[in-house]
Amino acid sequence: MNNEEAAPAIVDVEKRLRYISGIIKQNGRKILNNYPITSPQFVALQWLREEGDLTIGELSNKISLAFSTTTDLVDRMERNELVERVRDTKDRRVVRIHVLEKGKVIIEEVVKKRQEYLGEVLESFSSEQREMLRELLDVLYKEMKYVHEK
């Protein structure tokens, strides 16, 4: 496929991904309205649940926020008893952010509701279509991650 043939397909894929991302964010905000947590806090908690305890610097890189903004975010989450700062066991100078039980429960509930929403959307898909979508999204993710890391 040459560039001229690929261009309309790329335009369509970019547009659909942008729209899908917008719908997911909009639905995510609706779900979060029922919880004492903001969207940036949710993203931070997700990273901490997936990656384990992180330093402020590591977390700020993951969520693409400035160090000072991430510090403020963690301060608020700590006041709301979602996370705590803990000293690293190997190097006492290093402080890591650890998710507390309240933060874990919120993440699990919100993710479950997001998955239920997606399940409803995918109900009309055949099992083959769902599997193909999963495989294609996996390939897309790996390619994007590879290109990003270059």
Question: What CATH code would you report for 3-149?
Answer: 1.10.10.10
Label residue 115 exposed, middle or buried (CB < 10 Å: 0-12, 13-18, 19+).
exposed
Q: What is the C-alpha to C-alpha distance for residues 111 and 46, in angstroms, rounded to an integer?
A: 9
pLDDT at residue 4 in the model: 60
The per-residue pLDDT for 7 is 84
**Residue 147 has what pLDDT?**
79
Q: Where are the domains of the chain?
A: 3-149
**pLDDT value for 141:** 92
pTM of the model: 0.79
Q: How confident is the model at residue 2, as a pLDDT?
A: 55
Give pLDDT < 50 ranges for the chain: none
Nearest to 78, CA basis, from 105, 97, 52, 59: 97
Residue 16 pLDDT? 94
pLDDT of residue 25: 86
